[in-house]
Amino acid sequence: MKNISEARFLNEMRSVSANMYRLGWDERNGGNISYLLEQDEIADFLDPGSVIRKIPLGFDARALSGKIFLVTGSGKYFKNIDRDPENNLGIFRISGDGSTAELLWGYADGGQFTSELPAHLMSHCARLSVDPENRIVMHCHPTYTLALNYVHVLDEKQLTHTLWQMCTECIVVFPDGVGVLPWMLCGTNEIGEATAKKMEAFRLVVWGMHGIYGAGKTMDEVFGLIETVEKAAQIYMLTCHMPRIGTIKDEELRELAESFGVSYRRDFLDI
């Protein structure tokens, strides 16, 4: 077996979590990431038949039976992931009956997966039904995105429209818009189910007064989605208290989307 420290998927997780912490998106143990792995990706590094221990999931995950995930740990600080991945991350397989996580590597100090695992796994199910290549679910607390929650109506059309108007690239990067949930108790099956329902239509979901969820094919794609929303939210927060003199008009947003050939939410424009 090769040393798992050489695995591309592990080093992607280490790199992106360090960057998210550096940007202030994941203070303390705020935020979590899950990465759906292929069997052949882990074959050189782990024996799938060697289960370290079984961790109860607390919900029915039979839809993902046999799937293998790399997931950040509960209570783990993002700033520590890069230097100590084996204690702060875990790789596990969903059991055949969907009731437990079969730990294959990590959580070496006796820990377990993030408390937000229901939202992650349910979101994976939703995104896989839309696009079988979606493998990443990422949750974090970007500063300006969170600040925006307190001064802007939390309506999907209005919030998406505002963000699209902040940067020319926005409608091209997330043409499907941003889903929105009201404040809900985190770490529950209920918020997991609500997030998954939104993930059927959106790759980005704002948790009111909490943070944002992103999903996609690669770490770069999902990080870039959240990064673009955060930049747009920052521009809004820097300008919302001043008179609006210029803006990107809806006709121009439509021109942008159609020029780049993206399928956008036409109902989110007032044309």
Picking from 80, 115, 150, the residue at the C-terminal end of a domain is 115
Give the mean model confidence (pLDDT) for residues 4-12: 97
Confidence check: pLDDT of 202 > 90: yes
The pLDDT of residue 136 is 98
- Digit-coded pLDDT (tens) for 42-80: 999 999 889 999 999 988 999 999 999 999 999 999 999
Confidence check: pLDDT of 1 > 90: no
Alpha-carbon span 105 to 87, nearest angstrom: 10
Domain range enclosing 228: 116-271
Alpha-carbon span 256 to 76, nearest angstrom: 41
Determine the straight-line distance between the first and last CA of the chain, rounded to whole angstroms.
59
Picking from 62, 91, 115, the residue at the C-terminal end of a domain is 115
Please answer whether residues 204 and 123 qualify as being in contact, where contact means their C-beta atoms are separated by less than 8 angstroms: no
Tell whether 104 and 133 lie within a shared domain: no
Tell whether 71 and 125 lie within a shared domain: no
Predicted structure pTM score: 0.96
Q: Pick the catalytic residue: 12, 116, 156, 227? A: 116
Average pLDDT over all residues of the chain: 96
Confidence tier at 271 by pLDDT (50, 70, 90): confident
The answer to whether residue 116 is catalytic is yes
Tell whether 174 and 221 lie within a shared domain: yes
Q: Which of helix, strand or coil describes residue 143?
A: helix
Tell whether 121 and 104 lie within a shared domain: no
The CATH number for 104's domain is 3.40.225.10
Tell whether 155 and 104 lie within a shared domain: no
Tell whether 161 and 214 lie within a shared domain: yes
Alpha-carbon span 27 to 210, nearest angstrom: 12
Instruction: Determine what percent of the chain falls in helix, strand and coil, rounding each to the nearest 5.
Output: 40, 20, 40
- Digit-coded pLDDT (tens) for 19-48: 999 999 999 999 999 999 999 999 999 998
**For the chain, how many structural domains are there in total?**
2
Picking from 97, 115, 133, the residue at the C-terminal end of a domain is 115
Tell whether 100 and 195 lie within a shared domain: no
Give the mean model confidence (pLDDT) for residues 175-200: 96
Alpha-carbon span 179 to 160, nearest angstrom: 8
Tell whether 220 and 138 lie within a shared domain: yes
Confidence check: pLDDT of 190 > 90: yes
Tell whether 184 and 105 lie within a shared domain: no
Tell whether 45 and 59 lie within a shared domain: yes
Residue 38 is given by DSSP the state: P
Give the mean model confidence (pLDDT) for residues 203-221: 98
Tell whether 90 and 121 lie within a shared domain: no
Tell whether 34 and 128 lie within a shared domain: no
